[in-house]
A and B are shown apart, each in its own frame.
Chain A
Amino acid sequence: MVLDYRKLVTTISTEKREILSKKLVDLILTSKNDDRMPNQLANAMLYHWQHDALKSESGIAVLLEAVLLLEPEKTFNALEELQMTDIARQVKEAIEG
């Protein structure tokens, strides 16, 4: 199953987007699995950051897609910590396929 990250993000409340965006960025920047980062996603992340759009719907969609490649387990934990259990479940189901 292919996950529509953009559609998924629309289900996240706007007030939680900023904190989620920061958490995802931290997971990406501190990840040791750099080699798993596709360059299109890296460039999309930089583009959104340059334009202050990492907490926008498209920005969070890019971050989610990247972080799930780099740190899937840590992402599920982070989503649960932020009480985004439903998002965590959908992501897990999609990835486990």
Chain B
Amino acid sequence: MVKFGIEFVPREPYWKIVYYAIQAEKGGFSNLWITDHFNNRNVYVTLTAAAIYTNKITFGPGVTNPYLVNPVFTAQAIATLNELAPGRVVLGIGAGDKTTLESVGVEMAKPLTAIQEAIDIFRRIVGGESVVYNGEVFKIAGASFLFKPRGRIPVYVGAQGPKMLELAGKIGDGVLINACHPKDVEYAVNCVKEGVRQAGKKLYEVDVAAYTSFSVHEDLKKATKAAVPVVSFIVAGSPSVLLERHGIDFKKAEEIREALKANDWGKAFGAVTSEMIEAFSICGTPEMCIERIALLLKSGISQFVVGSPIGSNVREAIDLVSEKIVPHFQV
């Protein structure tokens, strides 16, 4: 049976995020993901507050990156959270966003190696080892905790490109696939399967999640209006190969990119087409969303993550997912 996860961006104050997290837990969601960007509120403070007010939902950063946050620090934060909510904590880690990293003068060097090494360091130190590491990206002279970490913590790898997806399947306990369209998800799951095969594992041993941009409302126009800003940013950040796969005009994508750079929101959002919304979001009435989720499930995903914007009114949208969508997949 598919699990439902939900993502929140801590641009909102902790109490709003935690309110929604409690609501999601009550509504049958099994996973809570909080994004990690330096320009929003801190992910671990937000997760701590969520841990205190929830009882069973599994949670973690979705996703942190090893460039801005050293894996030793990540291990410390996650291991401490696991004391607060034993068995409910997971780590979501990915290479991060190139533009964001560049804005703070950090180069996204050797992303595959960086992720592989970061996960290795994380697992070893959380496993109670004293770590000496001489990797290509990370060098650690000797690091260990002065406290005893509790148990093994699953690691999810956030991935989009074929090589990272393959690596995620190979070394991850879970994969967070950044895609919404069945074509993209199917392609991604095939890459994950290759990594799983190389590791001698079975696909069911890995929690494969579609981490989507999602917007639901009983009124399609309202659902679409909420999705447009998020889709405009996704289009602007998409590589040409992805735009081509969905038949999206490069000129229109460039127009959006330029308008966003100039903070001309009206122009950027106005240039978003229905094809872009179709390709880069799951958006519509509950019935329409059910249809799209069912298509994604055929690709072999085991978790569906409801990501930003969720809906024009987040509280109502969570209720819609809990009352109309989740039960449909629990029969």
Contact = CB atoms under 8 A, between A and B. Distances in A.
Is B a genuine binding partner of A?
Answer: yes
B290 interface: no
Contacts of A46: 15, 18-19, 22, 53
A47 B53 contact: yes
A26 B23 CA distance: 13
A68 B290 CA distance: 39
A13 interface: no
Interface stretch (A29-37, A77-85, A86-94): A29-37
Contact of B13 (A34, A47, A49): A34
A49 B315 contact: no
B313 interface: yes
A37 B88 CA distance: 29
Contacts, number: 34
A46 B14 CA distance: 10
B323 to A, nearest CB: 14
Nearest to A52: B26
Given A29-B315, A30-B313, A49 B22 contact: yes
Interface residues of B, number: 14
Contacts of B16: 29, 34
A34 to B, nearest CB: 5
Interface in A40-54: 42-43, 45-47, 49-50
B19 A29 contact: yes
A42 B315 contact: no
A9 interface: no
B314 interface: yes
A34 B12 CA distance: 8
A8 interface: no
A25 interface: yes
Nearest to B55: A50
Contacts of B53: 46-47, 49-50
B15 A37 contact: yes
A29 B22 contact: no
Given A26-B315, A29-B315, A42 B22 contact: no
A37 B12 CA distance: 13
B19 A45 contact: yes
Contacts of B54: 50
A49 B313 contact: no
Nearest to A49: B22
Contacts of B19: 25, 29, 45-46, 49
Contacts of A39: 15
Interface of A: 25-26, 29-30, 34, 37, 39, 42-43, 45-47, 49-50
Given A25-B315, A46-B22, 8 more contacts: A25-B19, A26-B313, A30-B313, A34-B16, A45-B15, A49-B19, A49-B22, A50-B54
11 contacts: A25-B19, A25-B315, A29-B16, A29-B314, A34-B12, A34-B13, A34-B16, A42-B14, A45-B19, A49-B19, A50-B22
